[in-house]
Amino acid sequence: MNLPSYIKNCYSEIPNLLGYEYPWEIIIHLNQIIESIRHKLLDSEFNIKNGIAIHKSAIVENNVTLKENTIIGENSIIKSGAYIRGGVYIGKGVNIGANSEIKQSIIFNNSRIAHLNYVGNSMIGEDVNLEAGSVLANHFNEYKNKKIKVLVNGEILETNVTKFGSIVGDESRIGANAVLNPGTILNKNSIIGRLVHVDQLR
């Protein structure tokens, strides 16, 4: 799977992603990747404490919960009530809305995650907009076999993981209260309407 065909600058922004064949492998190892970035690649423009690195130009409002292995990039804004956990990389100029939860995910530059969103075990490309209340689900609660499959170029691939959300290509737009099933792969410039449920395997 050619990740730059979905997220053009993924490797130039995070060279540590090179060497992984599939994006779900990146998500599995995201804690280690972020830890390596924090120790080796960040400069003095970041304030680092308790495993959390925040660029000096970033704004983190009151009542935000940041767990260990979080990186927040230059000029990003994290609004009140957001919950960031599980290993999260937030790039430059990203806006995380109030009361959103981001879990074990990468949000690339200049993307907007509006209020009341859930993004689980996902990779969000550059200049992506998620309207309020959208959900990038990461787990099949309802199935006995919880292993996630993905559809790539008409071919179904087994991930052999039970926690994996979405790959959202650059400049995509996700409407309010849309739900993306675990394993959703969206090309660049995708548009998902409001209240739409995306299930690519059914």
Catalytic residues: 115
Transcribe 102-159 into DSSP letters: EES-EE-TT-EE-TT-EEES-EE-TT-EE-TT-EE----TT-SS---EEEETTEEEE-
Q: Which of 67, 184, 168, 69 is nearest to 126 (CA)?
A: 168
Whether the CB-CB separation of 124 and 141 falls below 8 Å is answered with no
Rounded Cα distance between 116 and 71, Å, is 21
Q: Residue type for 53, please?
A: A
**Which of helix, strand or coil describes residue 70?**
strand
Task: Please list, residue by residue across 4-18, b when 16 or more beta carbons sit within 10 angstroms of its beta carbon and e when fewer do.
Answer: eebbbebeebbebbe
